């Protein structure tokens, strides 16, 4: 039965239990408040004129600050649970005292006191319900359940209005206060039950700390926190303007009602009937519209509902307020029907991204002090206008109509405040999930991610040479190209191995500042250090190696030959390329592991010589030792030898050499983009090589490189597709000026979403259990995780202005609060059509069975290839997905799917018709081009025919 009600109310499983206690809590609070309002308004207007109402409102505004200040101080001492339950019992005691004195003594001053007391109660008591709900519910739970909770407010207003209408004539208006006493005592018990239920269900760490610490500060602290936060300032501005506008409208309603209905008892009955019927209308909106409205249109649209209603109502009063009371009823209905059904849940959602400790301190301040200050400003405004317009000498209807001009101006400010609050809401959600991402990355960051300076500061201090050599190896592995000052200092270290390693690193960094020190190292007692010094000088200074050898004596053989080759190949009078080739051939041909050091030195040497040693370099590229090959690859880059690019591409798939090959290839820039594009699209090329090409294109970072990546976005291999997306993401972070083909990205995104739905269809064969231990199920879960990551990488291309990577990290969080904030962020930044198909895949409260049902409605035949994916897209019932499929047919030249385009030409969706017409023109232009296809698909056509590319 409970599940049936949840489905009827558009709730998830378990939401009914979470919201029922809050429903009854708010039901009793609002019923009590309406009963009190009916009695106070009727009694006050019976004794005073409507123009005196602003004085009572000013008294409320003046007193509420003191009351809230004491409330916050008590909260700091009592704790949230005791504060809420205790204040309700205090209010119950107040109503009992008011009933006693009004029933037996009827003091004249008592009714203004009751009027002010009801105003303060109306500020504090409902706000307490929402404060507790903000602690108990996550963002996503709140978005679903706040509609149910808010319906308690409206149902309470209905009952309260009818109760007052029936009881007051029979037992007296004062007897309503006694009924309030009973209701408030019950509410105190409900607070305790809700608290226990939350503790039984458990809380995440953030809310747990907030619930137990309950740090409620002083009024001054609350004001300081509010002023320091742009987001909280936007909320308070929205609340303040809303309070002023609704207070003025409320005064208009009472004033016009008094003019049309002068008798006290009839006026009380009218108020009761109004609240009764307005409550019924609001309840229907709450139950049938609010949840669906928030899900479909989001928070931003919901914040504009009441301002729009007030705009229409104020215009109605301005023109017809003096003719019929229905103008006043329509104006007030905009508040009573929509404020507690749509506007109040929406405003409460604004508080959810705020940290719990801050929210605990400022929410009560905004909901009470700020709101009542708004009432005070409205009261002052009415009194000022009454003085300016001479309301005391004019007809009351005339003044009540003319003050609508004030409200129309203020409503414009309300629209601006709502827009600002919505923008700040998205910013705050983004900052929240971004901070979670930073915390996650900071926790998992390895030591090697620290800066080079930090590594040397920590590791170059120890005296142990082993520690120093390890630190130097970290520096070398990190591929730092600039020499570090700390390395230069190690040239005078007492350990020979440290001196040799430091000199090797400085030689690789081409650091010429240490040349005088290196010359001294030629006399070093260590043979290894002398050899390294000779190699450095031969590479970086114009010297005769034979002179050094004759003068200083013993050096390693390979260093002598390397020095001679460098000397003979250097342009000038002593240049002898033939002799240099003979020596270099001998070094390259040095066999086995014993000759590895010689071959490695030859490869390093070639990179600094004139470009005259191609055969030797090719032979080194084919060497069996990876270190030799790595140095030869670097030499290709140093010599800028484009004719050896194909040789490098053959080595790109070797994981030992991938980084060096990619770095070298990227140095050629746009000159090799065509070659890279052809290899990326050619199915005959090794998949390992193709998967590394996107990284090279990302390093190049040009417009042509971006086009090469975009042309291959629909690759069938999932890993290759992921690498392409990663490359595009990196490229657009480093080169934001490069634009993407939005329609192509949307097409690929639609295919990925469709594929993810298809995965849930497959998953349903495992009884829909994501935790299944079946190997196939485990593989499918991993694949689905990769699908989600690809989806977010595509979203990052479509929405570069938003930090969607942080949203992705937030969705992986085990914290319910962080996960809910990430989903809420997506709800507010994605377009409606995309939100409708994507969010159900990410919302943890939507079951696998529900996703399978969605998949069955969206996906048709099995998707096995790119063509099948496009066919599935164009066969979908969703116009956006069909548009993506039509675009793909035209872009990819899929002539055999043209019959699907014919079916789309008469579709009702204009975007689909326009895209279809473009696709047909595209197919026609391809047919007229003698069958020449775009470059990405030419290699596929050749591969299918068994042809060879040149």
For the chain, percent of residues with pLDDT exceeding 90: 8
Instruction: Quote the pTM value.
Output: 0.56
**Residue-wise pLDDT tens digits, 353-389:** 777 667 766 776 787 778 778 888 888 888 888 777 6
Please determine, for residue 338, whether its predicted confidence score (pLDDT) is greater than 80.
yes
- Long-range contact list for 444-449, CB < 8 A, 24+ apart? 448/474, 448/478
Please determine, for residue 265, whether its predicted confidence score (pLDDT) is greater than 90.
no
- Kindly list the structural domains of the chain, giving each domain's residue range(s) and its CATH number in brackets, ordered by start: 2-439 (1.20.1250.20), 640-740 (1.25.10.10), 744-945 (no CATH)
The vertex-260 CA angle with 256 and 265, nearest 5°, equals: 105
Please determine, for residue 949, whether its predicted confidence score (pLDDT) is greater than 60.
no
**Residue-wise pLDDT tens digits, 580-596:** 788 788 888 888 887 88
pLDDT attached to residue 449: 41
Please determine, for residue 493, whether its predicted confidence score (pLDDT) is greater than 50.
yes
**Are 632 and 647 in contact, with CB atoms under 8 Å apart?**
no
Confidence band for 459, pLDDT divided at 50, 70 and 90: low
Query: Residue 944 is inside which H or E element, if any?
Result: helix 935-945
Of residues 724 and 161, the one with the higher pLDDT is: 724
pLDDT attached to residue 389: 66
Rounded to the nearest angstrom, the gap between the alpha carbon of residue 412 and the centroid of all alpha carbons in its chain is 30
Please determine, for residue 950, whether its predicted confidence score (pLDDT) is greater than 50.
no
Rounded Cα gap, residues 365 and 65, in angstroms:
9
**Are 399 and 391 in contact, with CB atoms under 8 Å apart?**
yes
pLDDT attached to residue 662: 92
Rounded Cα gap, residues 833 and 884, in angstroms:
13
pLDDT attached to residue 675: 92
For the chain, percent of residues with pLDDT exceeding 70: 76
**Helix spans in 800-878 (H):** 804-811, 816-829, 832-842, 848-858, 866-874
- Mean pLDDT across the chain, nearest whole number? 76
Average pLDDT over residues 618-627: 88
Average pLDDT over residues 91-115: 83
The residue with tokens 């594929």 is: 755
Please state which of the ranges 47-56, 233-242, 332-341, 551-560 shows the lowest mean pLDDT. Answer: 551-560
pLDDT attached to residue 447: 38
**Residue-wise pLDDT tens digits, 411-444:** 999 999 999 988 888 777 777 666 555 554 444 4
**Residue-wise pLDDT tens digits, 862-909:** 555 667 667 767 776 666 667 777 888 888 788 888 888 888 888 777
pLDDT attached to residue 770: 46
Average pLDDT over residues 267-288: 80
Confidence band for 948, pLDDT divided at 50, 70 and 90: very low
Confidence band for 29, pLDDT divided at 50, 70 and 90: very high
pLDDT attached to residue 186: 92
Average pLDDT over residues 489-495: 78
pLDDT attached to residue 700: 92
Torsion angle, CA of 580/583/585/590, rounded to 10 degrees?
-150
**Half-sphere exposure of residue 766, counting CA atoms within 13 Å on the CB side?**
18
**Helix spans in 137-174 (H):** 139-171
Average pLDDT over residues 561-573: 68
The vertex-259 CA angle with 254 and 263, nearest 5°, equals: 90
Of residues 699 and 359, the one with the higher pLDDT is: 699
Give exposure, 721-738, as e/b (b: 16+ Cβ within 10 Å). bbbbbbbbbbbbeeeeee
Please determine, for residue 148, whether its predicted confidence score (pLDDT) is greater than 50.
yes
């Amino acid at each position: 039965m409970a599940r049936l009600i949840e489905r009827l109310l558009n709730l998830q499983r378990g939401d009914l239990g979470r919201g029922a206690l809050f429903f009854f809590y708010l039901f009793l609070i609002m019923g009590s408040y309406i009963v009190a309002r009916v009695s106070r308004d009727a009694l006050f207007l019976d004794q005073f004129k409507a123009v005196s109402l602003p004085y009572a409102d000013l008294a409320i505004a003046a007193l509420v600050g003191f009351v809230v200040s004491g409330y916050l101080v008590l909260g700091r001492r009592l704790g949230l649970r005791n504060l809420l339950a205790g204040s309700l019992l205090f209010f119950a005691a107040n109503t009992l005292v008011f009933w006693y004195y009004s029933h037996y003594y009827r003091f004249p001053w008592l009714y203004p006191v009751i009027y002010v007391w009801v105003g303060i109660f109306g500020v504090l008591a409902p706000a307490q319900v929402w404060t507790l709900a903000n602690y108990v519910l996550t963002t996503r739970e709140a978005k679903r359940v706040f509609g149910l909770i808010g319906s308690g407010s409206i149902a309470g207003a209905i009952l309260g209005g009818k109760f007052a209408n029936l009881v007051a004539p029979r037992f007296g208006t004062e007897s309503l206060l006694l009924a309030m006493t009973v209701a408030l005592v019950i509410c105190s018990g409900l607070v305790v039950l809700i608290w226990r239920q939350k503790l039984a269900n458990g809380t995440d760490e953030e809310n747990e700390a907030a619930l137990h610490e309950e740090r409620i500060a002083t009024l001054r602290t609350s004001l300081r926190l509010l002023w320091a936060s742009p987001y909280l300032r936007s909320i308070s501005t929205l609340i303040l303007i809303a309070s002023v506008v609704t207070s003025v409208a409320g005064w208009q309603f009472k004033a016009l009602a008094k003019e049309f209905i002068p008798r006290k008892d009839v006026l009380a009955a009218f108020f009761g009937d109004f609240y009764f019927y307005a409550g019924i209308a609001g309840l229907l909106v709450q139950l049938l519209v609010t949840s669906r409205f928030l899900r479909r249109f989001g928070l931003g649209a919901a914040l504009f509902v009441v301002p729009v209603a007030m705009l229409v109502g104020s215009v109605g009063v301005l023109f017809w307020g003096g003719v019929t009371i229905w103008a006043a009823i329509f104006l007030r209905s905009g508040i009573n029907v929509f404020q507690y059904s749509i506007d109040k849940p929406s405003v409460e959602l604004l508080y959810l991204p705020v940290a719990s400790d801050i929210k605990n301190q400022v929410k009560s301040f905004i909901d009470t002090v700020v709101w009542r200050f708004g009432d005070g400003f409205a009261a002052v405004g009415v009194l000022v206008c009454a003085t300016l317009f001479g309301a005391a000498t004019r007809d009351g209807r005339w003044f009540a109509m003319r003050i609508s001009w004030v409200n129309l101006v203020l409503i414009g400010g309300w629209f601006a405040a709502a827009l600002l609050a919505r923008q700040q809401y998205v910013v705050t959600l983004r900052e929240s999930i971004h901070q979670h991402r930073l915390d996650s990355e900071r926790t998992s960051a390895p030591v090697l991610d620290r800066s080079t300076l930090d590594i040397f500061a920590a590791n170059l201090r120890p005296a142990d040479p082993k520690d120093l050599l390890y630190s130097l190896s970290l520096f070398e592995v990190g591929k730092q190209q600039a020499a570090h000052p700390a390395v230069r200092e190690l040239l005078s270290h007492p350990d020979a191995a440290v001196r040799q390693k430091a000199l090797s690193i400085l030689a690789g960094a081409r650091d010429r500042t240490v040349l005088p020190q290196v010359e001294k190292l030629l006399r070093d007692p260590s043979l290894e250090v002398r050899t390294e010094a000779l190699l450095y000088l031969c590479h970086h200074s114009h010297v005769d190696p034979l002179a050094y050898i004759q003068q200083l004596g013993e050096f390693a053989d390979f260093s002598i030959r390397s020095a001679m080759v460098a000397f003979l190949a250097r342009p000038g009078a002593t240049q002898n390329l033939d002799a240099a080739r003979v020596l270099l051939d001998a070094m390259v041909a040095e066999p086995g592991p014993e000759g590895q050091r010689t071959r490695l030195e030859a490869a390093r040497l070639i990179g600094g010589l004139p470009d005259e040693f191609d055969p030797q370099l090719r032979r080194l590229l084919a060497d069996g030792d990876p270190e030799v090959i790595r140095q030869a690859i670097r030499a290709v880059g140093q010599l800028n030898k484009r004719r050896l690019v194909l040789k490098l591409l053959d080595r790109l798939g070797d994981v030992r050499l991938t980084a060096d090959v990619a770095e070298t290839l990227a140095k050629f820039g746009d000159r090799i983009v065509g070659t890279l594009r052809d290899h990326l699209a050619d199915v005959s090329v090794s998949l390992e090589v193709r998967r590394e090409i996107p990284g090279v294109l990302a390093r190049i970072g040009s417009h042509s490189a971006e086009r090469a990546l975009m042309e291959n976005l629909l690759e069938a291999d999932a890993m290759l597709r992921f690498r392409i997306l990663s490359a595009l993401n990196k490229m657009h972070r480093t080169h934001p000026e490069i634009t993407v083909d939005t329609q192509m990205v949307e097409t690929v995104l639609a295919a990925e979403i469709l594929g993810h739905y298809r995965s849930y269809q497959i998953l349903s064969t495992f009884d829909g259990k994501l935790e299944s231990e079946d190997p196939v199920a485990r593989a499918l879960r991993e694949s689905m995780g990769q699908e989600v990551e690809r989806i977010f990488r595509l979203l990052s291309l479509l929405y570069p202005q938003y930090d969607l990577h942080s949203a992705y990290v937030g969705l992986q969080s085990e914290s319910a609060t962080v996960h809910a904030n990430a989903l809420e962020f997506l709800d507010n930044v994605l377009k409606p059509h995309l939100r409708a198909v994507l969010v159900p895949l990410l919302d943890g409260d939507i079951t696998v069975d529900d996703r399978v049902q969605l998949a069955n409605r969206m996906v048709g035949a099995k998707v096995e290839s790119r063509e099948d994916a496009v066919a599935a897209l164009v066969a979908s019932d969703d116009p956006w997905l069909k548009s993506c499929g039509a675009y793909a047919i035209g872009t990819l030249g899929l002539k055999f799917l043209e019959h699907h385009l014919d079916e789309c030409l008469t579709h009702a969706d204009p975007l689909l018709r326009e895209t279809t017409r473009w696709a047909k023109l595209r197919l026609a232009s391809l047919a007229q081009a003698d069958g020449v296809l775009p470059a990405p698909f030419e290699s596929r056509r050749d591969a299918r025919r068994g042809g060879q590319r040149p």
